[in-house]
Structure 1
Amino acid sequence: MVSLITGWINHFKHKLTILKRRRFIEGLVQRGLTLGKNVTIMPTAWIDYDYCYLVSIGDNCSLSKGVKIFAHDATVFKFTDGYTRINKVVIKENCFLGENCIILPGVTIGPNVLVAAGSVVNKDIAPNSCVAGNPARFYSKFDDFIASHKVTITEQPCFEFSTLNAGMTDELRKKVQDSVQGGDAYVHGYTGRFPWNFN
């Protein structure tokens, strides 16, 4: 009985988190954030609240957990009698921002850009690029990167997300663990979009 109650409490907390997040993002849009269609903003992604009207995110973009988008830079505040630098951030369509990456003010990204997890973007990122690092640097063309993965998917082990999510058995866990011993494996079917998809 206790586990049933705990389950319901956790379910309610999850639903409340979703509601709070949606309201927060809707509040940013009301304050001037430009948000395209089919944009995914994961929990803990942060968009500069005070200057969100300087931020534009295009269609089909994804912001992973921990992404931070700054439209202001207060590094000179203390030394300039209270001045803070502000600038726009433009993320064009079809961009993916990896977990915990930081986007600094005054940059334009994309379209068709992958920013690797943990990257710091302090300059414009050209269309059709993949970048990584601090500061973020080019490592591949977007189209080449996607094409190479499409080939690799046909050669490497693949698992359905619904199968993995339905119940992980010891046998299935071992199969997945063994599959990555010689390289990558892939999981198909997880979009990561619901319930963090906006517009």
Structure 2
Amino acid sequence: MSKFFKHSHALVESEAVGEGTRVWAFAHILPGARIGSGCNICDGVFIENDVVVGNDVTIKCGVQLWDGLRVEDGVFIGPNATFTNDSFPRSKQHAFELQQTLVKSGASIGANATILPGLTIGARAMVGAGAVVTRDVPDGAIVMGNPARVTGHVDDQESP
């Protein structure tokens, strides 16, 4: 008996899903993915094989997590946020240089933000809705716009 909740219309092929995680309708988690405990994976989320998701992560509707993505504990990923893992994608190109992206603990990614491959989103950083992140985001930075620019910093007293 599994120790996580799986909606009857979700497809969870991975056996590495942590206790207390909830996987909602039409989510698809491939066999190689590793998902921590206490996560909330909302409707229509797709998670590829070479993805690691930490504990207490929220992934809202319409998000795809592609190979090479590492998400640390306590991260929030807003609806339809987009991650990429190939900086020069071409049709029918099966061999490409997979670029690893890291989202550090406590970071928040706003709805419809786009994160280019090979970047690091710093701990507790906030990426604004619709931002296009083209470079690393420092710990605690707030970034917005296209391309995303630092517009402020998260209060150090805020809980992670």
- TM bucket normalised to smaller: 0.5 to 0.7
CA RMSD of aligned residues (A): 2.7
| Among 6, 9, 22, the residue aligned to 1:16 | 9
Distance, in Å, in 1 between the alignment partners of 2:52 and 2:59 is 13
Query: 1:129/1:145 Cα in 2 relative to 1: closer, same or farther (>3 Å)?
Result: farther
**Counting helix residues as a fraction of each chain, which structure ranks higher?**
1
**Counting strand residues as a fraction of each chain, which structure ranks higher?**
2
| Among 103, 121, 137, the residue aligned to 1:125 | 137
When the two structures are aligned, how many residues end up with a matched partner? 125
| Among 52, 65, 88, the residue aligned to 1:47 | 65
What percentage of aligned pairs have identical amino acids? 25
Task: Verify the 8 A CA contact 1:73 1:84 in the aligned structure 2.
Answer: no
**Correspondence 1:72 to 2:98:** no
Structure 1 unpaired stretches of 5+: 1-13, 148-199
Task: Verify the 8 A CA contact 1:113 1:130 in the aligned structure 2.
Answer: yes
User: Aligned ranges for residues 1-199 of structure 1 at < 5 Å?
Assistant: 16=9, 18-21=24-27, 24-25=28-29, 27=31, 29=33, 31-48=49-66, 52=67, 54-75=68-89, 77=90, 84-143=96-155
Query: 1:137/1:88 Cα in 2 relative to 1: closer, same or farther (>3 Å)?
Result: same
Query: 1:27/1:67 Cα in 2 relative to 1: closer, same or farther (>3 Å)?
Result: farther
Query: 1:112/1:20 Cα in 2 relative to 1: closer, same or farther (>3 Å)?
Result: same
Alpha-carbon distance, 1:68 to partner: 0.8
Distance, in Å, in 1 between the alignment partners of 2:87 and 2:145 is 20
Q: Tell me, what secondary structure is at the counterpart of 2:9?
A: helix
Alignment partner, residue 5 of structure 1: none
Distance, in Å, in 2 between the alignment partners of 1:27 and 1:66 is 23
Distance, in Å, in 2 between the alignment partners of 1:62 and 1:95 is 6
Rg comparison, structure with higher value:
1
Alpha-carbon distance, 1:86 to partner: 3.0
Higher RCO, Cα 8 Å, sep 6+: 1
Q: Could you tell me the TM-score, scaled by structure 2's length?
A: 0.68
Q: Could you tell me the TM-score, scaled by structure 1's length?
A: 0.55
